[in-house]
Structures are given as structure tokens and as C-alpha cells.
Amino acid sequence: MSSLLKNIIIAAAGIGLAMSSPALAQRDPAYEAARSSGQVGEKMDGYLGIVGAGSPALQKLVGDINIKRRAVYASRAQAANATLEEYAFTAGCLAILKTAPGEKYQAPDGSWQTRTSSAPQRDSRCPS
């Protein structure tokens, strides 16, 4: 494993810590409802995606979350000497791995899958 990939993994793991902080733990009820109902899911590129057609309110919610993610990724990518895309991809790998049964995620073929108790399908480039 290259040192760049190791740095990205370490930095991306910090996202998990940041996302579990008290401020982010109290998520928007609309986001929680959309996630639990399968209207949104984790994409391989590190961003949140809308599964199917989304209302304008859902599109705004997802857009706002993705803007915040991009800002975090940009800052942490710079600290890890990685590109934004490399960092976001690694974060996406980790976010998909952390999905709970019943939640949606994007499989390597681009299709939306529902997480079961088994490990999710992940891109072969994802860290183990």
C-alpha cells in the first residue's frame, strides 16, 4: 500500500470521528427520515445521493450536506497531500462500510443496494 493511500485512509478515518461528534450526531430529522426510508444513500464518490426521484426539499437537503462534506474533504485532502477526489473516494468507501442494515448505498456497478447484515459491495480500490 502506498504511503499516499495510507495517509488518505488515516485522514478519512478521522471523518468517522468528526461525523460522530455531538454536533453531527444530532442530525436533521428530515435527513434521518430520508436515510431510514431509503430515499438517500452513500455514494462511492464520498457524497450522499438521492435514490430515485427526489423532491426539491430533498434535493436541497442532500445538496447542503454534500457542500459540507466537500469542504471537510478539501481541508483534509490538503492535510493528507491527496487530491479532493482521492480523499472523497476513500471517505465514500468508509461511509459505505459503515452503513447499517436497511440503509442504501451505491454498489461498484452504480446500482443502489440495500445493506443487509452481510458486508456491502465495495469497489476493489477501497482500502480493506
CA distance 77 to 1: 18
CA distance 80 to 16: 16
Contact yes or no for 80/7 (Cβ under 8 A): yes
CA distance 53 to 126: 28
Closest CA to 90 of 110, 104, 111, 69: 69
- Rounded alpha-carbon distances, angstroms, from residue 2 to 7, 41, 78, 84, 95: 9, 29, 17, 17, 21
Full-model pTM: 0.80
Grid cell listed for 34: 430520508
Q: What is the pLDDT along the chain (128 residues), one digit of tens a residue?
A: 555 555 555 555 554 434 433 344 447 899 999 999 999 999 999 999 999 988 999 999 999 999 999 999 999 999 999 999 999 999 999 999 999 999 999 999 999 999 999 999 999 999 87
